[in-house]
Structure 1
């Protein structure tokens, strides 16, 4: 076996001075890390925090007292749609309601329902179509804060209830104090 020409390396043997130097370096790092702390973490990207609007559920039709006299039969909600009609951030529900008749075409009523800000029971706040007007509502919609519908009606009392002979488009929009009806076109025969 050949002997190494280089004497054993002196730095491979630990001496007490090595341990003292290592302990001093570790203590310095620990002391420095307790003084220097990173800033608090945030998920923001530098932009101002956004206001979060809590979604409010639209009022339902269950338990609502509709101004509709159905006698011994019950009122039926045929169609409904929800949206913020008055711009207050809380949705309203518009319901097309008629009496549950076994025969014929019962006239529709169209009602706007809202829930009080305290979360109380939903209630009717506006009537857009009265059942006494003998109208049937078709093509019902709620878009851009407006209620739209096509109203089928009768030119005279002599026209049978089964067969409306007039068709009128209608639109209602909130003006700040009431729902205003506009008709995009005149009534026309069916």
Structure 2
């Protein structure tokens, strides 16, 4: 007759309190493991894009002879593909009468404070239309990474400033570190 080497030990018999203690301990281990999970490799949250620069905080290269400048139109969009919007502003000198020529300026965030607001002041990084070109801007938009505008101008100095006689639709797109201008249609008489 063979005898078994296993003895009958009292602590090998499970009682309900043992099962309850084991279940509680396992639940604690699972919960702790869930809290201590490592971050997924390469899954970092992208930083939120900055808000568009505030056109009112920029200093424009206009000579208004002591008169204030006026932001006639503004639009925002990501023009250089960096994920942050730029602001494009159509600005002219505030005249008592007549139609002063406009400038079109591309703005980005500058350093320093924008009029005490805690946000960086906008700075001009590109001039698309100089006021010295004697153009007025009618339609204006930023779409699909491009600035689009309709420019009114003059065929000669003899044309009265009230009545531009040329119209041109143009766009600018950021390419190779500069804004490239494209005429969408040939200049034509108004």
State the TM-score, normalized to the length of structure 1. Answer: 0.78
Task: Give the SS at the match of 2:172.
Answer: strand
Contact 2:111 2:121 in 1 (8 A): no
Instruction: Indicate the residue corresponding to 2:5 in structure 1.
Output: none
Aligned ranges 1:22-101 → 2 under 5 Å? 24-35=15-26, 37-38=29-30, 39-40=33-34, 49=43, 51-101=45-95
TM-superposed CA distance for 1:117, in Å, is 8.0
Instruction: Indicate the residue corresponding to 1:156 in structure 2.
Output: 156
The one-character-per-residue Cα deviations of 1:39-75 (angstroms, maximum 9, x if unpaired) are 5179xxx9x8463331210111123110101112100
2: CA distance, partners of 1:59 / 1:176: 23
1:186 is the counterpart of 2:189: no
Instruction: Indicate the residue corresponding to 1:10 in structure 2.
Output: none
Q: Which has the larger radius of gyration?
A: 1
2: CA distance, partners of 1:63 / 1:54: 22
Task: Give the SS at the match of 1:40.
Answer: helix
Task: Give the SS at the match of 2:34.
Answer: coil
Instruction: Indicate the residue corresponding to 1:12 in structure 2.
Output: none
State the TM-score, normalized to the length of structure 2. Answer: 0.78
2: CA distance, partners of 1:28 / 1:177: 70
Contact 1:86 1:174 in 2 (8 A): yes
Contact 2:54 2:121 in 1 (8 A): no
1: CA distance, partners of 2:122 / 2:56: 9
Task: Point out where structure 2 has 5 or more consecutive residues left out of the alignment.
Answer: 1-14, 113-118
Contact 1:86 1:176 in 2 (8 A): no
Aligned ranges 1:137-176 → 2 under 5 Å? 137-176=137-176
CA RMSD in angstroms comes to 2.5
Instruction: Indicate the residue corresponding to 1:4 in structure 2.
Output: none
Task: Give the SS at the match of 1:31.
Answer: helix
Aligned ranges 1:13-28 → 2 under 5 Å? 24-28=15-19
2: CA distance, partners of 1:73 / 1:180: 32
TM-superposed CA distance for 1:124, in Å, is 0.4
TM-superposed CA distance for 1:177, in Å, is 1.4
